[in-house]
Amino acid sequence: MKLIVANWKMYLTLRESIALANKVTRYTLHVTRYTIVLCPSFVAMEEVAKVIKGTQIKLGAQDVEPEKRGAYTGEVGLDDLRELGVEYVLVGHSERRRMGETDKLVNQKLKAVLKSGMRPILCVGESWKIRRSGKARGYVADQLRAGLKSVTQKDLKRVVVAYEPIWAIGTGRPDTPKDASEMHMWIQKIIRDISIFANKNRDVPILYGGSVNAKNAGTFLRAPGVDGLLIGRASTQATEFAHIIRSA
Query: Binding residues for ligand PGA, per CB under 6 A?
Result: 7, 164, 169-170, 209-212, 230-234
Distances, alpha carbon 200 to alpha carbons 1, 189, 196, in Å:
15, 11, 10
Smaller CB separation from ligand PGA, 57 or 169: 169
CB of 106 to ligand PGA, least distance (A): 15
- Alpha-helical runs (H) found in 53-176: 78-84, 94-97, 103-115, 128-132, 136-147, 153-156
**Residue in the shown chain whose Cβ atom is closest to ligand PGA:** 232
CB of 172 to ligand PGA, least distance (A): 8
CA dist 237 and 225 (Å) reads 27
CB of 63 to ligand PGA, least distance (A): 12
Contacts of 84 by beta carbon, 8 Å cutoff, 6+ apart: 45, 46, 49, 59
Smaller CB separation from ligand PGA, 60 or 195: 60
CB of 109 to ligand PGA, least distance (A): 16
167 is an annotated ligand-binding site residue: no
160-193 burial: b if 16+ Cβ within 10 Å, else e: bbbbbbbbbbeeeebbebeebbbbbebbbebbee
Smaller CB separation from ligand PGA, 48 or 169: 169
Catalytic residues: 93, 164
7 is an annotated ligand-binding site residue: yes
Contact criterion met (CB below 8 Å) for 7 and 91: no
186 is an annotated ligand-binding site residue: no
Smaller CB separation from ligand PGA, 62 or 195: 62
Q: Are strands 2-7 and 228-231 parallel, antiparallel or unpaired?
A: parallel
CA dist 37 and 45 (Å) reads 12
Annotated binding site: 7-9, 170, 211
Annotated binding site for substrate: 7-9, 170, 211
